[in-house]
Amino acid sequence: MAKNTSKAYRNQIMYSVFVRNYSPEGAFEGVRRDLERIKELGTDIIWLMPIHPVGEVNRKGSLGSPYAIRDYRAVNPEFGTLEDFRRLVDDIHKLGMKCIIDVVYNHTSPDSWLARNHPEWFYHKPDGSLGNRIGEWWDVVDLDYSHRSLWDYQIETLKYWASMVDGFRCDVAPLVPLDFWLKAREEVEKVRPGCFWLAESVEPSMIRECRAQGIEILSDSEAYQAFDACYDYDIFPVFQDYLEGKVPLERYAQAVNAQESIYPGNFVKLRFLENHDRARAVFAIPERLARLNWTAFLYFQKGMTLLYAGQEAEAIHRPSLFDKDDVYWPDRPVLTADLMKRLAALKQNPILTDSRYEVKALPHDILYATHRKRDRQLVGLFSLKGTASLVHVDAPDGFYPGLTLNKEPVEVYEGMVSVSGSPIIFEAPWKEK
């Protein structure tokens, strides 16, 4: 079914929320109260991180990880009632947005309903006790999908939630068999036609390590058979290496370009600068002008844009998953939020839906990126060190409206653009040579 994934997902923006830390009360109501502001950022899909009760055995921190789930078919009483959840989802829909929830199907908490009622559905260590295969996840126990009765239970659970929400973000999806996901997608489609499926695909290093240990794990190419979108983790390590000065910009450009030839023609990547498992963008890219360029490039990229709650507020602290640790919301206006709102309009440009996409690394750490379709092109120049430079572009001389915060026209003169250090995006004619 993923063969029918719409390329229009590349024009969409997803906003990720951990209910516990989003507001002082840490409840569904705190999110519902802020929906109009989230919508103003151009959000199409709100992703709620796990909404289910958290296990008490082997808890990490004082409140436990939301990814150590005790009951897949209930809501966390910390957050409110099922009726509160339904009201939140209804209001998300009223504002023209969709809602997806986290699916954590590789493991549960050791004291989960499934562990107590169906221990035969779990991975067992040599001594017969329940265990997990990833050592650092010591607060959970792994499920064993060799049991078809487990499939039935999990799929029925998905169908239950699909009667309310529009899709699922599937935690470490590659550790769950592909055939399960294919069957789940087929069955859920009967309840929620057009259900959106996002895989938290994993970094190449994890794939190599798991396979070396005999653990079955899916590559992105395999996951795309069942999912509409995959994480950008296949190249995220290169992005991090560039930020740390370990590799030149050219290496990152090569990684982005390679995606165009190794995945299906309708592939959708979830593009991000930060998420709940990674450092905040402000922490990783402390220089503001460089960060504004990376933010503009984030929206320019072919794929769906992910924002993690607080990113628009330039929050530097990544909240803990295991304790009450609220997002910092400043009272002052934030330049990043203004840029995001303008870039959200750019994201709707149909050329971003289906284009010949290419990025080039230029001197002075400038990324020259283009989306080309028929006789038009969208040109992006991103100065990732905030430096000024003259850049040669393949566009006719003339003036073009600027599409970022700088509303001044962009001039192409003798085939060059003067880059001041701020991101530049403009649309121009293109003639294939």
pLDDT tens by residue, 194-248: 999 999 999 999 999 999 999 999 999 999 999 999 999 999 999 999 999 999 9
* CA distances (Å), origin 348, targets 52, 296, 383: 34, 14, 23
* d(C-alpha 68, C-alpha 60), whole Å: 9
* d(C-alpha 310, C-alpha 46), whole Å: 14
Among residues 183, 190, 199, the alpha carbon closest in space to that of 160 is found at 190
Question: Within 13 Å and on the Cβ side, how many CA atoms surround 343?
Answer: 27
pLDDT tens, N- to C-terminus, the chain (433 residues): 468 899 999 999 999 999 999 999 999 999 999 999 999 999 999 999 999 999 999 999 999 999 999 999 999 999 999 999 999 999 999 999 999 999 999 999 999 999 999 999 999 999 999 999 887 889 999 999 999 999 999 999 999 999 999 999 999 999 999 999 999 999 999 999 999 999 999 999 999 999 999 999 999 999 999 999 999 999 999 999 999 999 999 999 999 999 999 999 999 999 999 999 999 999 999 999 999 999 999 999 999 999 999 999 999 999 999 999 999 898 877 878 888 999 999 999 999 999 999 999 999 999 999 999 999 999 999 999 999 999 999 999 999 999 887 778 999 999 999 999 999 999 999 988 7
- Give yes or no for a contact between 412 and 368, defined as CB atoms under 8 angstroms apart: no
Instruction: Please give the structure tokens belonging to residue 143.
Output: 């499920």
Question: Within 13 Å and on the Cβ side, how many CA atoms surround 28?
Answer: 23
* d(C-alpha 105, C-alpha 177), whole Å: 10
Q: For 153, list phi and psi in degrees, rounded to 5.
A: -65, -45
pTM, full prediction:
0.97
* d(C-alpha 172, C-alpha 249), whole Å: 29
pLDDT of 431? 87
End-to-end alpha carbon distance in the chain: 37
Amino acid at residue number 391 = V
Q: For 168, list phi and psi in degrees, rounded to 5.
A: -140, 140
Contacts of 77 (CB under 8 A, 6+ apart): 53
Q: For 167, list phi and psi in degrees, rounded to 5.
A: 170, -175
- Give yes or no for a contact between 394 and 362, defined as CB atoms under 8 angstroms apart: no
What DSSP string describes 86-143? HHHHHHHHHTT-EEEEEE--SEE-TT-HHHHH-GGGB-B-TTSSB--SSTT-TT-EEB
The 3-state DSSP class for residue 375 equals coil
Give me the residue label for tokens 């370990």: 246
- Give yes or no for a contact between 175 and 217, defined as CB atoms under 8 angstroms apart: yes
* CA distances (Å), origin 297, targets 155, 159, 198, 363: 38, 37, 22, 17
**Strand 410-412 relative to strand 398-400, pairing:** antiparallel
Question: Within 13 Å and on the Cβ side, how many CA atoms surround 160?
Answer: 12
* d(C-alpha 104, C-alpha 76), whole Å: 14
Amino acid at residue number 356 = R
* d(C-alpha 5, C-alpha 10), whole Å: 11
Among residues 193, 130, 191, 203, the alpha carbon closest in space to that of 163 is found at 191
Q: For 141, list phi and psi in degrees, rounded to 5.
A: -125, 145
Among residues 186, 103, 187, the alpha carbon closest in space to that of 143 is found at 103
Exposure b/e, 395-410, CB count within 10 A at least 16 = b? beeeebebbbbeeeeb
Give me the residue label for tokens 């309840």: 191
- Give yes or no for a contact between 45 and 91, defined as CB atoms under 8 angstroms apart: no
pLDDT of 334? 81
Strand-pairing partners, residue 100, are 47, 167
